Amino acid sequence: MLRFAAALSSLLAISGCSTTDALNALTSSGDYTRHADIAYATGHRTKLDVYVPRVLACGDKAPVVVFFYGGTWNTGSRGDYAFVAASFARHGILTVIADYRLYPEVTYPDFLVDSAKAVAWTLRGIGGYQGDPARVFVMGHSAGGYNAAMLALDARWLEGAGVRPSQLRGWIGLAGPYDFLPIENPDAKPVFHHPDYPAGTQPIDHVTSQSPPAFIGVDTGDRLVNPQRNSAQMAQKLRAANVPVTYREYGHLSHTLLIGVFAGPLRWLSTVNDDVPAFVLANSGCVGSGSTNSTSETEARTP
């Protein structure tokens, strides 16, 4: 299994969209209806796709996850991550996947402004797509996990879009960077104006007792984003503030496979693709629709 996971990790690290195209092609789209190319703001890269599950959790309105992809704020496209929406649809959860502007077109904090506008659109408009605006979660992987954390923890961004973090039921971060200064990744340095970092860029500094419930997942062998400094310390700080937090460590994956295992052919490698929907449903106060548990190793730890 370790050799297989390592081979898949190498495959998923290949540049370009061919790998995600393959994952999407091998993942069933029969569990959802897609509404594509919806503008959440004016301008470039400000569109989103809505994936409505054919069987809704929570009756006639489904819980909603707004997902932000990673890519060091340099790369990414919402269409590459349909497999994430397909995984949530199995549990009756509606998914919104939004693009946001990237470097070098923009730097911090413009991608957070875009992300906040996507969430504001969701809170105001998702009822028209069988989603429940009272059960909205933000989620991201890697750089997208940073975006999700900042929207949930730092009120400046959602308030700037006319909504509030208190309207979120929770946030989910997978392999996210939450405490990463000084920046070592050369692709991320210009994004955050290295070495003249603006104040307030680190999600871990914005935790309060009013922060929404969190799910934090990490691969223990992540070599790109330090799991102890970022995920474990974030979980510790949330708990110290009496914020409900679910912290999960997963072994035998990688930074990229932590999201790749949401794709149909890879789901058996880890239970993270069931653990996250379980968190969403539990914090929505409803029961999901026919989820299937994976058999891979998952460890719950108290950091």
Residues 105-133 as b or e (16 or more Cβ within 10 Å = b) = ebbbbbbbbbbbbbbbbbbeebeebbbbb
Q: Which domain holds residue 110?
A: 2-10+31-300
Residue 20 lies in a domain: no
Residue 171 lies in a domain: yes
Residue 109 lies in a domain: yes
Q: What percent of the chain lies above the pLDDT cut of 90?
A: 82
**pLDDT tens-digit map of 232-258:** 999 999 999 999 999 999 999 999 999
Q: 95, 239, 109: which is closest to 161 by C-alpha?
A: 109
CATH of the domain at 117: 3.40.50.1820
Structure confidence at residue 24 (pLDDT) = 81
**pLDDT tens-digit map of 258-268:** 999 999 989 99
Residue 15 lies in a domain: no
Q: 55, 63, 67, 62: which is closest to 30 by C-alpha?
A: 55
**Token couple for 124:** 């105001």
* Confidence label for 138 from pLDDT (cuts 50, 70 and 90): very high
Residue 67 half-sphere exposure toward CB, CA atoms < 13 A: 32
Residue 216 lies in a domain: yes
> Per-residue pLDDT averaged across 190-199, rounded?
98
Is the pLDDT reported for residue 77 higher than 60?
yes
Task: Provide the domain count of the chain.
Answer: 1
Residue 201 lies in a domain: yes
* Confidence label for 103 from pLDDT (cuts 50, 70 and 90): very high
Residue 22 lies in a domain: no
Residues 6+ apart with CB under 8 A from 105: 44, 45
Residue 59 lies in a domain: yes
Decide: 32 and 103 in contact? Cβ < 8 Å. Answer: no
